[in-house]
Structure 1
């Protein structure tokens, strides 16, 4: 599943309006009128979706979400996925990242490995993956994931996000709480040499969590994929070369 170049918003064809034969991309924008029962904000969201080239490309490729392109770009840049890996996908619904993992680890062609995804929301099965509907924040979730994977993981992915409030500091704290929980789980399941990729908000990863990652991994970086909307505060932290869990770490 090759990564796309950023889809173009321009289309083909000509326009005879005012005698012009050049198509202005603005003429191709789909506009949604505010309908009865639809709020202005929901109308704006729908218009953005209809005009988002990544949404259109995801639909064309049969991908479940535009977020799939974020993982493709991160994988192209940091080489997270390869045949035979054992991968856990946290916050997996509706399954866009899981689709990419299955394709790039070649599970559908018998390439070995195992992929387990989990989300509190219902989501349809993906051939080649084990798709769990369960709250990752529940006390029994780590044991459920570990048992289902059947061994250590080579990669833990997290695209989890809490519902936004519009208050930047509150939203940042909520996302960081998810990131910290995801990293706690990664420490318990990653094999030596494993990797972790997790959504955080701009402002970066909190100091204490970032320090833990740097102590236990050979390389830690932040990245914002092109498929991430420019107005979104999300970035991703990528930790690679896991050295192993340090149970003597006083920050734990």
Structure 2
């Protein structure tokens, strides 16, 4: 997602926001105030990340070494490209470390993703579409990925359980994608919103991955139902094409 248009260019500067705060609705005021106080929003600007969500992936990768130089990565729901930025750095897909293996990063989103050196973006593509799967198989070295990332989410409806169910369905579609492109031993990291169907997703992941754990990065807001499943050691099911 666009992270409110790259955090609205840091909300068109803190000064402008403070001047306009009184003209906003109470909900808008709360959101703007939260953004102004958010250290990850500020850090994303200072470190040239497209969105604060980059720090979620950075924290997870620092701890679990998910992304390695030379790896092939598919970033689902990639817009605006913050996770792809992290992946490009960690797998060396831009070739900035000549002594290290050269990786591959492919981002997919229904939205437009601005170009990024070291990444190949499939904008206006549905990650559940067989045509997108075919394109990924064509672009990936040997037609296989080491890692599937997903920070994608549906547009919020305001009905928590409905939104939860929609995101679970999206996450389940990633398991179908894994059957097409993920190499044996590969990993999947996907965002979900906690709810009644969480166990169903965890069970499906556990049926094809040897290790599945729940993560809540520090950059994930404490009051959010957002969680991540980190699944490792993918086991082929025999359904791959």
Summarize deviations over 1:203-226 as a string: whole Å, max 9, x none. 386334322321222210000000
> Which of 197, 200, 218 is the matching residue for 2:192?
200
Aligned pairs for 1:164-179 (under 5 A) are 164-179=156-171
Output the CA distance in 1 between the equivalents of 2:194 and 2:57: 18
How far off its partner does 1:31 sit?
8.1
Given the two structures, how large is their TM-score scaled by the length of structure 2?
0.84
1: distance between equivalents of 2:77 and 2:195? 22
Runs of 5+ unmatched residues, structure 1? 1-29
Distance 1:204 1:170, change over 3 A: closer
Contact persistence 2:108–2:127 (CA under 8 A)? yes
What SS class does the counterpart of residue 182 from structure 1 fall into?
Answer: helix
Residue 40 (structure 1) shift: 2.9
**What is the CA-CA distance between 1:76 and the residue it aligns to?**
1.6
Cα deviation digits, residues 63-116 of structure 1 (max 9, x gap): 000000000111122210110000000000101000000001122225312110
1:56 maps to 2:42: yes
- Given that 1:32 and 1:46 are in contact with CA atoms closer than 8 Å, whether structure 2 keeps it comes out as no
Q: Which residue of 2 aligns with 1:217?
A: 209
1:153-194 Cα offsets, whole Å, 9 max, x none, are 000001110111222211110110110112210222111110
* C-alpha distance in structure 1 between counterparts of 2:222 and 2:19, whole Å: 21
* Structure with a larger share of its residues in helix: 2
Aligned mates of 2:130, 2:223 — CA distance in 1: 34
1:115, 1:130 within 8 Å by CA — same for their partners in 2?
Answer: yes
Pick closer, same or farther for the CA change 1:212–1:82 going to 2, 3 Å.
same
Change beyond 3 A, Cα 1:45–1:242: same
Q: 4+ residue runs of structure 1 moved beyond 4 angstroms? A: none
Match for residue 180 of structure 1 among 172, 184, 188: 172
Q: Distance in 2 between matches of 1:142 and 1:34?
A: 48
